[in-house]
Chains A and B, each alone.
Chain A
């Protein structure tokens, strides 16, 4: 039977089990939306910006492991997806993003709403396609879904010219494709696995270092078994959060720039660092010449590129983390490392995590750690999204993550404005769970238009704004490294302000904008919390609301910082614990 490209597209989505499509229409993709109009199996979610659509698909994918799908129009619709695609690419999130394109005969003519989106997204996608022949459409759609969610997952973009969308052609959507240049290695090499297990047995100060790959591979369960069996302690990267419960005695917390003292000390003194699904990213390692100087390194990763890139690896294992760990588990034995564990526990006691009092002491606003700890107490099993900056680091420090795939955060690219749309996507995928975006007042304003999406879909996403009136993380760097020259970081700077402001004063408004009124304007619930004793009641009130989003504006101390901190370029043991540099 002959069907249009648009009909084949919808057939492909159904065959792939796609239930939610995040999108925004425009001229060239009207025929696709037209087919979707009468398609009951696929819910089309209209976001208010294409970036929101991609982040929502991303949150959907991260919280479930299923492929997130979005559909936007050509030109500006396509270019608006770029940040979302790059975010997903950096954190290995399976997304298929469909963009409309002008008709084939118009391509290259600077037609209305034309953009070379395939050229633009080449370096930020796992792979991308421009469909130039209707006969290739079925195969390309299948390849896109196959590539996006296999091996090391990532975003795939498919650019669909308008005349390909309209052209009638065959209706075949292949059940399987074989791509000769793409054969991800899943099983680990048995000899390497034996070597790795042997190293773990020999080590006196072994340490697991896990990254996001452990969630992606679905390896959390088998990894927890390995930890239990061996008794080896664990540090994690930001993306590895939740691999072991945060309150597990063997969990040392996050390593790196804003990691825990014990995690950084452990890495720096271990004699065997056993990496799983991590990248040895610069925010985690600090100065490479001082990173894990005494350790042999074992590294399991799906992507050969990640292995021996930043640090030389003694025992590399290419493969899927779950399969490799399942192969390895029978070879693992309990270790005798009491001395090492004692050392770790004394480091842990030496510098526990706490929010320090700011330079000017507590000025009567909320403490960000109290807010996050209370969220954790009221919603211990929630899916947490974050924006980027202080809100993100405080969340990783003070929320105790116990479940896999429970933290949605832009780790690699560091995209402000990610959290709210990602939370919306996650709420669609997890209608029975609480989804909370812990935000800053800066980053929430980067995709605040998605309030409309959440309101119209009756999504009870809670947005907890840690409102300090600053772009807090940049301000923190200015305080510590630029003599408090707060250049362009105050979000309340007005004409009356002194020209070279170095901190809050009497002239400052209490808040701006009024997030409560803003939320109400969209039909959401807005709450403001200014007193410590109101934190929990506000969260409980939010918990009673099930049919619309809730914004809670927490007015927090304006100049509180994230500590401990490894200064950029310093070694991991070189940690700062307060403004004085102690």
Chain B
């Protein structure tokens, strides 16, 4: 099953490499990874999409939590959450095809960023599924280039992820509670 993990990490050099290296070194499946700084310039948010059965996902979360630079890992998959990806797509479009491409773009609420003699660049945001569909619909026009950002995600509602260290006792109970959930 595919899981979306949203992580707060120290904004140090090498953090991305630690996380990517963990996946390659331990043979975990990493589908996409994005990183960017948060409102606090010391902290970055990394969103990653990974695949695996429950045991593997459980190990991935524990291994990520073990990294010193990782402050918090949240599995967004069971939570009500928002997921967005951005893509830039360059298609071949002769002048007589532009109208059609504009129409398709309109249906997907994509924007036209650039028009050339026989090409156009489109920008689209949405779920990964929507972007897959958009790319599929554009296939007849010959895709010249596709650039996708990878997923960024956030939990719905007012809850704010804290970067403060958890209370020791709380942390202990939390960990053991997590295990109970895993086992149940």
- Residues B67 and A192 in contact, CB atoms below 8 Å apart: no
Interface size on A, residues (CB 8 A): 35
Q: Does A122 contact B (CB under 8 A)?
A: yes
B58 and chain A: residue at smallest CB distance = A308
Report B145-163 residues with CB < 8 Å from chain A CB.
163
A181's partner among B17, B68, B169, B179 (CB-CB below 8 A) is B68
List A contacts of B68 (CB < 8 A): 126-127, 147, 179, 181-182
Contacts of A303 in B (CB 8 A): 66
- Find the B residue at minimum CB distance from A314: B183
A105 to chain B, nearest CB (A): 16
- Is the Cβ of A309 less than 8 Å from the Cβ of B59? yes
Is B80 among interface residues, defined by CB-CB distance under 8 A?
A: no
Contact A308–B165 (Cβ < 8 Å): no
Contacts of A312 in B (CB 8 A): 183
- Do B62 and A192 touch across chains, with their CB atoms under 8 A apart? no
A147 to B66, CA, bound (A): 12
Q: What A residues does B133 contact at CB under 8 A?
A: none
Q: Is the CB of B183 within 8 A of A181?
A: no
A 162-190 binary contact with B (CB < 8 Å = 1; else 0): 00000000000000001111110111110
> Is A498 among interface residues, defined by CB-CB distance under 8 A?
no
CA distance A313 to B180 in the complex (A): 10
Residue of chain A at shortest CB distance from B177: A189
Residue of B nearest to A151 (CB): B66
Is A318 located at the chain interface by the 8 A CB criterion? yes
- A122 with B59, Cβ < 8 A, contacts A183-B168, A185-B168, A304-B175 known: no
A189 pairs with B176, CB closer than 8 A = yes
Q: Is B164 close to A, CB under 8 A?
A: yes
Using CB atoms, name the residue of chain B closest to A188: B172
Assembled-state Cα–Cα distance A180/B69 (Å): 8
Q: Given contacts A122-B21, A181-B71, A308-B183, are A189 and B165 in contact (CB under 8 A)?
A: no
Q: Give the residue name and chain of the A residue nearest to B182 (CB).
A: A308
Q: Which residues of A sit under 8 angstroms from B71, Cβ to Cβ?
A: 180-181
Instruction: Scan residues 180-208 of chain A and give those whose CB is less than 8 A from a CB of chain B.
Output: 180-183, 185-189, 191-192
Structural contact, B67 and A181, CB atoms closer than 8 A: yes
Q: Is A227 an interface residue (CB 8 A)?
A: no
Return chain B residues, CB-CB under 8 Å to A191: 176
Specify the chain A residue showing the minimal Cβ separation from B14: A118
Distance between Cα atoms of A445 and B145 in the complex (Å): 57
Give CA–CA (A317, B14) in the complex, Å: 32
Contact pattern, B 61-74, Cβ under 8 Å of A = 1, otherwise 0: 01101111111000
- Contact present for A189 and B183 (CB under 8 Å): no
Interface contact A318-B175, CB-CB below 8 Å: yes
Q: A147-B68, A304-B65, A308-B179 are in contact. Are A180 and B165 (CB under 8 A)?
A: yes
Report chain A residues within 8 Å CB of B62.
304-305
With both chains docked as a complex, state the minimum distance between the C-beta of A77 and any C-beta of chain B, in angstroms: 21
A365: shortest Cβ distance to chain B, in Å? Answer: 44
Interchain CB contact under 8 A, A307 and B179:
yes
Q: Choose one: B17, B66, B168, B182; the contact of A122 (CB below 8 Å).
A: B17
The docked-state distance in angstroms from the alpha carbon of A118 to that of B21 is 12
Indicate if B18 sits at the interface (CB-CB under 8 A).
Answer: yes
In the assembled complex, A119 has its CB within 8 A of some CB on chain B: yes
Q: Any chain A CB within 8 A of the CB of B171?
A: yes
A316-B176 contact, Cβ under 8 Å, with A147-B68, A181-B67, A304-B62: yes
Residues of A within 8 A of B69 (CB): 127, 181
Could you say which of A180, A316, A319 contacts B172, with CB atoms under 8 Å apart? Answer: A319
**Is the Cβ of A180 less than 8 Å from the Cβ of B18?**
no
Q: Which residues of A contact B70 (CB under 8 A)?
A: 181
Given the known interface contacts A147-B68, A180-B164, the answer about A318 and B172 at a Cβ–Cβ threshold of 8 Å is yes
B residues in contact with A513, CB < 8 Å: none
8 extra A-B contacts, CB within 8 A, seeds A119-B14, A183-B171, A189-B175: A127-B68, A181-B9, A181-B70, A185-B175, A186-B172, A187-B172, A309-B59, A318-B176
A contact set with B: CB distance below 8 Å: 118-119, 122-123, 126-127, 130, 132, 147, 178-183, 185-189, 191-192, 303-305, 307-309, 312-314, 316-319
Q: List 12 A-B contacts (CB under 8 A).
A: A126-B68, A147-B68, A179-B68, A180-B10, A180-B165, A182-B68, A183-B165, A185-B168, A185-B172, A189-B175, A308-B179, A317-B176
